[in-house]
Homo-oligomer: A and B are copies of this chain.
């Protein structure tokens, strides 16, 4: 599982910082999460192949999280994209994109599918044989979702030496990987755990931006491997965070602690701060496993 930060600063794009956008590579799928202005240039700079992006998840309709979407949708057309593109985001996102395509008389030459969200409860919005994506309802000034990306549990790994020692025919291997016990021709029952190894534990990633401090999300985040939680402000701006329904670094760390996550990644820094290391220092007073997102940074988990 690999996370590439295309942009992780709040509010407006600047010469050297970009609004929110990130690429999650999970089980060989590329998911684009949020799409602030300039995302397509950030994709190029980070050498992400446009054609590998088939699913885009938009947390909410504040500009720093989606103003780059319409440009990316248009660029896909210019690149002669053929495969379908799926966009998951708040109700209204389809109207925004389609209005601009209609007025520019520039339709896409690929299938463009909108999956508009309006539920205030968590829901499964994407599922295939290896990955499942659920919403994490967040508390912000407009309707907002975080997203929980979960790998499904892999099949068990065949213990080749064991199956060969029992002279088991290879036609049974799929059953064994699926967890079945085996009855040999002589009638002996061989339990599955003697023929297989545990699969690699599935990983998961939770993206929570933008949000006020909200303990209601903790059950959804329990034990996740990596939590990206916004920390727009430091504790010194606690009141501003409350008023704007954002979080401080300390609050993000508190959520990480209470949800018992393995790793916290901070981001969505207000551009008022010159030194983002302060976010890490503050969060680590609560929770030790803290990483700082920054534009162009990649994390392998």
Contacts and interface: CB of A to CB of B under 8 A. Distances in A.
Interface string A103-116: 11110000000000
Contact of A71 (B12, B15, B41, B96): B12
A96 B100 contact: yes
Nearest to A45: B15
A276 interface: no
Q: How many copies of this chain?
A: 2
B67 A63 contact: no
B104 A63 contact: yes
A275 B122 CA distance: 52
A21 interface: no
Interface residues of A, number: 33
A62 interface: yes
A61 B45 CA distance: 27
A100 B63 contact: yes
B13 A62 contact: no
Interface string A193-227: 00000000000000000000000000000000000
B11 A78 contact: yes
Contacts of A41: 13-15, 38
A142 interface: yes
